[in-house]
Structure 1
Amino acid sequence: MNSLSELFSLKNKVALITGGAGYLGSEISYTLAELGADIIIASRNYESCKQKCEEIEMHFDHSIRATAMQLDLLNKEDLKECFAKIEENYGGLDILVNNSWSGNKNSFESISDEDWEYDIEMSLNSVFRCVKAAVPGLQKKKGVILNITSMYGHVAPDYRIYDGIQFTNPPSYGAAKAGVIQFTKYLASFLAPYEIRVNCLSPGPFPHPQTQLNTEFMEKLGSKNPLNRIGQPHEIKGAVALLCSNASSYMTGQNICVDGGWAIW
């Protein structure tokens, strides 16, 4: 019988977290390191990744290995080079976490063609390319893919709570995240013969600290779910641990919502 500690252990596993030095990305990186995985944090901001890796290695007394990599997800050569390094140094991945996001705040009225195309390219197309590059290594290790999506991939933003463009949610964001949720289900089906499991995690209201300075908006945002509050970054750790480990060995193609119950009403 497998114990819970054995099921959740990621010892001797290798995980890549795109955007792993960001607000929620940092919690994902810490979670996988805490479970014993060697982690690779990759984004366009190499220095930020390097700093986060040093911080994590020190926190865990160098019991795990944390490596920073330069990765522009919109640059096909960058992707090719990143995964070639992973193959050379680690022999492929056990865990891929597609977490990166960047984009502009926009309302439907303000969004331009360029902004829409950038968001779709960044939030959807880059996930496709990353998975394509990772699958050969994941096949060898019967690995796991976790796509970080959003509650706005399956429910609409409530226009009544948003105050101007600064705090609104762009239409391109939810459209891209909905695409990732469907892509996750597709991958779960078509990668099953290789024993690769694919799930997604949809965070609810986890606003960045700068956004939290707008207390009136925070009250509106928090009141939208049954728990009547916004989420704190550490509150995604349990779902990440479950979906990236053998504790979820009979789960694939699922979208796990960590949203305070937002989507139930």
Structure 2
Amino acid sequence: MSHSLNELQNLNGKTALVTGGAGYLGMAMCEVLAELGSNIIIASRNLDKVETAREKLKIKFPDIEVHSLQLDLLDDTSIKNLFHNINSLDILINNAWSGKKNSFESISNDDWEYDINLSLNSVFKMIKHAKPLLKKNKGVILNVSSMYGHIAPDYRLYNNDNYVNPPSYGAAKAGVIQFTKYLASFLAPEGIRVNCISPGAFPHKETQQDHEFMERLGSKNPLNRIGYPDELKGVVALLCTNASSYMTGQNICVDGGWGIW
């Protein structure tokens, strides 16, 4: 049976949970899923920020349901309580991240453990809790890794402690890519697809004010520029809908071609 692209990407009646959905990249992910008809659950530690994001989405997409829930990914009870408030789930996007700008010299044991817990261990915990709901609906998991999950940062870029890339970040994101592949294999019999995206470089607006650093950063890829949140919408639309129904275990790089050099 043949389906149009519009039919394959139709998410009407579906529900998507996006961790860090009120953030710089997370908001773009929420927007594209809402545009395709999905109801949205935005989860974050900062409830005020989540409420603001919820209001923006409701104004832009009045025909969908948008819920804001508080979530501390470092608190097992908070994760458990989150899923007590969710009755049905079709899409889980593990996107949340925060951390310090550490070098190998400056990073402490506590900093390392914080980053691994937030960027990798929380993905494991979220999927453990979400699996029963996703199994019922033959759902989709999209993990957000990074280009630094499969390549090393160029030390020559980071001559300022404000931008230095912590070793814990890439280590955790590499784990996310491998965990994605593992889950794609072992959750396939239950009808759950699992894929991953590796964005880079998508510096926040504050960092973009340093034009000299932006020039150095952008020159590292063939497109000679940084990425912007809307440029993730296409790959999210692909991997979270039936347009990718024969794809699982994949890590798609959205990096301006950075990794080919």
Q: TM-score, normalised by structure 1?
A: 0.97
Q: 1:45 Cα shift?
A: 0.5
Residue 164 of structure 1 aligns to a residue whose secondary structure is coil
Q: 1:57 Cα shift?
A: 0.8
Q: Partners of 1:244 and 1:165 in 2: how far apart?
A: 36
2:13 is matched with 12
Q: 1:147 Cα shift?
A: 0.2
- C-alpha offsets along residues 148-194 of structure 1, whole Å, 9 cap, x if unaligned? 11000000000001122211110000000000000000000000000
1:189 corresponds to 2:185? yes
1:85 is matched with 85
Q: 1:17 Cα shift?
A: 0.1
Residue 253 of structure 2 aligns to a residue whose secondary structure is strand
1:250 is matched with 246
What does 1:1-265 align with in structure 2 at a 5 Å threshold? 1-60=2-61, 62-87=62-87, 92-265=88-261
Aligned partner letter, 1:73: L
Residue 229 of structure 1 aligns to a residue whose secondary structure is coil
Q: Partners of 1:113 and 1:76 in 2: how far apart?
A: 21
Poorly superposed stretches of 4+, deviation over 2 Å: none
Q: Partners of 1:226 and 1:164 in 2: how far apart?
A: 24
Q: 1:213 Cα shift?
A: 1.0
> Is the Cα contact below 8 Å between 1:16 and 1:40 reproduced in 2?
yes
Residue 172 of structure 1 aligns to a residue whose secondary structure is helix
RMSD in angstroms over aligned alpha carbons? 0.6
Q: 1:18 Cα shift?
A: 0.2
Q: TM-score, normalised by structure 2?
A: 0.99
- C-alpha offsets along residues 182-239 of structure 1, whole Å, 9 cap, x if unaligned? 0000000000000100000110110001101111110010000000000111000000
State the percentage of identical aligned residues. Answer: 66
* Stretches of structure 2 lacking an aligned partner (at least 5 in a row): none
Residue 20 of structure 1 aligns to a residue whose secondary structure is coil
Q: Partners of 1:185 and 1:246 in 2: how far apart?
A: 19
Q: Partners of 2:107 and 2:160 in 1: how far apart?
A: 13
Q: Partners of 2:179 and 2:63 in 1: how far apart?
A: 35
Would you tell me which structure has more helix in proportion to its own residues? 1
* Stretches of structure 1 lacking an aligned partner (at least 5 in a row): none
How many residues were matched structurally?
260
Q: Partners of 2:175 and 2:222 in 1: how far apart?
A: 27
